[in-house]
Amino acid sequence: MSDVFNGGCACGAVRYRMLSGPMFVHCCHCKDCQRQTGTAFVLNAMIESDRVELLSGEPRPFTMPTDSGRPHRVFRCAECGTAVWSEYGGLTQLRFVRVGSLDEPAALPPDVHIYTRSKLPWVTLPEQVPAFEAYYSSRDVWPAASLERRKAVMG
Ligand SMILES: [Zn+2]
Ligand SMILES: [Zn+2]
C-alpha cells in the first residue's frame, strides 16, 4: 500500500492527505461509536500521525466519555463539525482517520469487525473478514509489517 489518500470535511475547510496506506482498518460496532457517529458503526483507519498531512483548516478536538476512562478525542472541522479523525488514550502519535471522510472511502475496506455483540441486526458481515464479539489481539490478526509500524510509533 503505497498510495496517497485525500479526504476532508463536508464544508471543505478541512482537507488532509494520508501519505500511505493505514496499518489496519477497524469497523467498530460498539455502542459508543454508534452514538458518537449517529449511525450503525464507525470506520477507523489507523495510521501514524506524521503520515497525515493537514492541507487546510483546523480540526478541533472534542473529548468523549469512555467506559474505560481512557481519553478519546474526536477531531472535527471547526466550521461544519464533520469528524475527520480520533485519538485514543492520549496517544498523539497514532491517528484513527474516519474512512468516510476520504474522497474515496471504498479504497479502505475494513480489515476487521469489532464489538459485533452490539452490531445492528440488519448489518450482514462478509465471511472473509475477521469479526470479533468484542476486542481482539492484533498479534493474531495484523500483518507483520503493520505490527512493526505500530511498534515503531509506540516507541
Ligand atoms: Zn468543514
Ligand atoms: Zn467503537
Q: Which grid coordinates belong to 155?
A: 516507541
pTM for the predicted model, two decimal places: 0.95
Q: What is the pLDDT of residues 100-145, one digit of tens each?
A: 999 999 999 999 999 999 999 999 999 999 999 999 999 999 999 9
**Inter-CA distances, 78 with 29, 60, 99, Å:** 26, 6, 19
Ligand positioned closest to the Cα atom of 26: 2
Cα of 15 to ligand 2 centre, how many Å? 24
- Supply the pLDDT for residue 2: 53
* Residue 118, SS3 per DSSP: helix
Ligand positioned closest to the Cα atom of 75: 1
Cα of 11 to ligand 1 centre, how many Å? 4
Q: Is the pLDDT of residue 95 over 60?
A: yes
Residues within 5 Å of ion ligand 2, judged at the Cβ atom: 28, 30, 33
Count how many Cα atoms sit within 13 Å of the Cα of residue 92 in the half-sphere of its side chain.
1
Using alpha carbons, select from 134, 113, 139 the residue that is nearest to residue 67. 134
Using alpha carbons, select from 112, 109, 104 the residue that is nearest to residue 133. 112
Q: Confidence class of residue 73 from pLDDT cuts 50, 70 and 90?
A: very high
Dihedral sign (CA 75, 52, 24, 70): negative
Alpha helices, DSSP H, located in the chain: 31-37, 138-141, 144-154
Cα of 2 to ligand 1 centre, how many Å? 27
Q: What is the pLDDT of residues 6-59, one digit of tens each?
A: 999 999 999 999 999 999 999 999 999 999 999 999 999 999 999 999 999 999
Ligand positioned closest to the Cα atom of 117: 2
- Supply the pLDDT for residue 3: 85
